[in-house]
Amino acid sequence: MNLTIIGTGYVGLISGACFAEFGYQTVCVDKDQNRIDELNQSKCPFYEPGIEDLLNKHLNKTKLLSFSNSLAESVKDADIIFITVGTPSKRLEGDADLSFVWDVARQISQNIKKYCLIVTKSTVPVGTTKQVKQIILENIHEENFDVVSNPEFLREGSAIDDFMRPDRVVIGCENQKSESLIKELYRPLNLNETPIVSTSIETSEIIKYASNSFLATKISFINQVADLSEKVGANIQDVAKGMGIDKRIGSKFLHAGPGYGGSCFPKDVKAFINTAKKHNVDFSILNAVDSFNDRRVSEITNKIISKSNLNKGDTATILGLSFKPNTDDVRDSTSIKIAKILNTKGINIKCYDPEAMPNAKKENAFLTLCDDSYAACNNSKAIIIGTEWNEFRALDLKKIINNKNKLCIFDLRNIYNPKELQELGFNYFGTGT
Ligand code: UDX
């Protein structure tokens, strides 16, 4: 089976490398020649544990993986073509911008030479896959292709494992022929008895948005309960533990923090709300999840300023700039949002992140990047742990505490024990603890 993946972002590149790992001849296409040149040297444009080894193995050893910036050439022999281009939020309405999807669908229809599947793997609003079909029908007769929805459930930082050992594969098909072919593609997962949810195209598209939106709802819910816990002296980590043991609730995505960020949850929640609005359906729950999350960062930053009495000219430290650990992605990072608000108030920001500093600095020149956590904390009035990188969990805090005054530490991800830090002399603030 020959596969063509169009778009080499997180979804496309991880999918291409993993399909090669399954043993399929796979070509990944991108219109950015510089990116293709980098990929041909097994250099990944973003940090993702394990990806460069996988690229190197299949580019140079098995030769199952190749990269090209010619879509026309790359779709000719394809049996299955994946559309994995970006679907960013439109600035104002929050709707998904599908212009890249339409453009790629048009180019595919002008260049395919034999029957193939065209699969939307990017996160696309319900109805998009059928609209892709309409675009292709402008150039190709109906019996010479089928469209399929096959959304991804990859988390940055664990994307390869999520692809190779998914909880489920979701496929949306219109007929038996396309369903059999896409199921054949995922046969290597049968060894792990991975459930395949085979349904209609619209249902598959909804499953993706509903899944991400539900996870975002869990996060906003536990964050609201954390705010109440703080007021009444309860411990949100024990609350989450007591809830999560109930199998109907589950312990995942109940970690209180500064709110959800990244390139998916914020955009997917807003796009799902927009879809409901278009169909005049009451999505007041998700609206509340979204607006609460949008407000959270400024509320937390105001608390940081007031509790540590930060004034213009003071210095604050932020440990962790990426939106979550094990990635260099700073898109919609709560740490960066906090830094921006502090910067507007004339507070100097010293920071350290194991991977994300180059990306963070690109659009935030005001950040003072430091070589390690200790340098970042030196001479600071307030320390903010914004992202729960493992290396922040075992800092030698005695090297940080300065006896001049009770140094404030804002452990936004609750990685430390409040009592231990108070005994060390810190003015400790967790989230809901
Ligand atoms: C998410 C979905 O998990 C994945 O299935 C989908 O394909 C893409 O979007 P990702 O955005 O990489 O993956 O990160 P994720 O680990 O889901 O975290 C998203 C945000 O929620 C991060 O900002 C994280 O800090 C936050 N989060 C996560 C919490 O605040 N609390 C939690 O308990 C879990």
Give the three-state DSSP class for 313.
Answer: coil
Residues 283 and 188 occupy one common structural domain: no
Pocket residue to mutate for ligand 1, from 213, 220, 253, 337, most atoms within 8 A of Cβ = 253
Under the banding of pLDDT at 50, 70 and 90, the label for residue 104 is very high
Pocket residue to mutate for ligand 1, from 264, 335, 392, most atoms within 8 A of Cβ = 264
Q: Which of 357, 395, 410, 400 is nearest to 379 (CA)?
A: 400
Pocket residue to mutate for ligand 1, from 10, 47, 155, most atoms within 8 A of Cβ = 155
Residues 175 and 52 occupy one common structural domain: yes
Residues 270 and 194 occupy one common structural domain: no
Tens digit of each residue's pLDDT (9 = 90 or more) over 248-277: 999 999 999 999 999 999 999 999 999 999
Find the DSSP H helices in 325-372.
Answer: 334-344, 357-363
Residues 188 and 274 occupy one common structural domain: no
Classify residue 332 as left (phi > 0), alpha (psi -120 to 50) or beta.
Answer: left
Going by CA atoms, what residue is nearest to atom 5 of ligand 1?
A: 153
| Domain count of the fold of the chain | 2
Q: Is 337 a member of any domain?
A: yes
Average pLDDT estimate for 160-180: 97
Residues 381 and 278 occupy one common structural domain: yes
Q: Is 254 a member of any domain?
A: no
Residues 131 and 7 occupy one common structural domain: yes
DSSP state, 89?
B
Instruction: Determine the atom of ligand 1 nearest the C-alpha atom of 253.
Output: 33
- Specify the pLDDT at position 143: 83
* Residue range(s) defining the domain that contains residue 349: 265-429
Residues 195 and 270 occupy one common structural domain: no
Distance from Cα 378 to the centre of ligand 1, integer Å: 31
Question: Which range is least confidently modeled, 132-136, 353-357, 422-426?
Answer: 422-426
List C-alpha distances in Å: 12 to 28, 37, 122, 321. 7, 16, 8, 25
Q: Is 145 a member of any domain?
A: yes
Instruction: Determine the atom of ligand 1 nearest the C-alpha atom of 257.
Output: 30
Spatial neighbors of 348 by CB under 8 A, at least 6 apart, are 313, 314, 315, 316, 368
Distance from Cα 251 to the centre of ligand 1, integer Å: 14
Under the banding of pLDDT at 50, 70 and 90, the label for residue 401 is confident
Q: What is the C-alpha separation between 342 and 361, in angstroms, rounded? A: 16
- Specify the pLDDT at position 285: 98
Distance from Cα 155 to the centre of ligand 1, integer Å: 7
Contact between 332 and 342 (Cβ < 8 Å): no
Distance from Cα 334 to the centre of ligand 1, integer Å: 12
Of the candidates 199, 222, 257, which is a domain's last residue? 199
Residues 189 and 315 occupy one common structural domain: no
Just list the catalytic residues. 264
Average pLDDT estimate for 127-141: 95
Instruction: Determine the atom of ligand 1 nearest the C-alpha atom of 11.
Output: 7
- Specify the pLDDT at position 403: 61
Residues 316 and 392 occupy one common structural domain: yes
116: CATH: 3.40.50.720
Strand order in the sheet with 116-120: 65-68, 25-29, 2-6, 80-83, 116-120, 145-149, 169-172, 196-199
Location of structure tokens 């804002």: 410
| pLDDT > 70? residue 91 | no
Q: Is 245 a member of any domain?
A: no
Q: Is 406 a member of any domain?
A: yes
Q: Is 218 a member of any domain?
A: no
Distance from Cα 280 to the centre of ligand 1, integer Å: 28
Q: Is 163 a member of any domain?
A: yes
Average pLDDT estimate for 215-236: 98
Report phi then psi at 316, rounded to 5.
-120, 150
Q: Which residues line ligand 1 (CB under 6 A)?
A: 152-156, 212, 215, 219, 253-255, 257, 260-262, 264-265, 323-324
Contact between 328 and 355 (Cβ < 8 Å): yes
Instruction: Determine the atom of ligand 1 nearest the C-alpha atom of 158.
Output: 12
| pLDDT > 80? residue 92 | no
Of the candidates 184, 199, 214, which is a domain's last residue? 199
Percent of the chain's residues with pLDDT above 90: 93
Instruction: Determine the atom of ligand 1 nearest the C-alpha atom of 329.
Output: 12
Give the three-state DSSP class for 247.
Answer: coil
Going by CA atoms, what residue is nearest to atom 33 of ligand 1?
A: 253
